[in-house]
Amino acid sequence: DVKVTQSSRYLVKRTGEKVFLECVQDMDHENMFWYRQDPGLGLRLIYFSYDVKMKEKGDIPEGYSVSREKKERFSLILESASTNQTSMYLCASSPDVTDTQYFGPGTRLTVL
Amino acid sequence: DAKTTQPPSMDCAEGRAANLPCNHSTISGNEYVYWYRQIHSQGPQYIIHGLKNNETNEMASLIITEDRKSSTLILPHATLRDTAVYYCIVRTGNQFYFGTGTSLTVIP
């Protein structure tokens, strides 16, 4: 089975802090994705990566950056956290960019 | 971009079939229909996907109409553990567009 893990289930940070969310997959997938999920809005794509050191903006990249130094790891970075970034963050991976995506358990981030 | 429309909520009796509808009237010929579900506070779980033909796996069946404008996910014998939000998604290239889904409650 595909396993996608995220570094924290719950995280509380203060406004202005730099926040790192880590995602690791163990299936040698080429593609990895970061979404945020908010009530009434469904899941929205922030960034995705189709190869090491490659990244593409999704629908809502503002306020976020990403890093993919190794194939199995994809990090989401909030350079200066703001209260409107309080959300559930979901990481996913897929073997091919057009293939089924497998999700991690999510990180619920609260920015105070 | 094709989008989907689902009823916000449904109930189903335990042991009965749950039929979850989805409209995707603007779907184009090369866009797949995917179904995921999300149990409270967990990440979405893949269920099934299809392009034109009906599909079945160990979890569910997917029925796609001939004109591809709608589909139905069928859970043949719903259990309490099937209570979740079910998302019907049209995949466009590398993008999955999740809507707000259908909240299915399985009642004992």
Dihedral over alpha carbons A67, B88, B6, B41 (to 10 degrees): -50
Asked if the model's pLDDT at residue A20 lies above 60, the reply is yes
Strand runs (DSSP E) across chain B, as ranges?
A: 9-13, 18-23, 32-38, 45-50, 55-56, 61-64, 70-75, 84-92, 95-97, 102-107
Instruction: Please count the other Cβ atoms lying within 10 Å of the Cβ belonging to residue A67.
Output: 16
Choose among B36, B43, B99: nearest Cβ to A105: B43
The contacts of residue A44 (CB under 8 Å, 6+ apart) are A35, A36, A37, A38, A58, A59, A60, B98
Q: What average pLDDT does range B26-46 have in this prediction?
A: 89
Sign of the alpha-carbon dihedral angle for B71, A34, B84, A112 = negative
Place A99 in a pLDDT band, splitting at 50, 70 and 90.
Answer: confident
Asked if the model's pLDDT at residue B2 lies above 60, the reply is no
Q: Which pLDDT belongs to residue A1?
A: 67
Asked if the model's pLDDT at residue A73 lies above 70, the reply is yes
Quote the percentage of chain A above a pLDDT of 70.
97
Residue from A44, A59, A101, A107 to probe the interface with B (highest B Cβ count within 10 Å): A101
Q: What average pLDDT does range A48-55 have in this prediction?
A: 92
What is the C-alpha separation between A43 and A29, in angstroms, rounded? 21
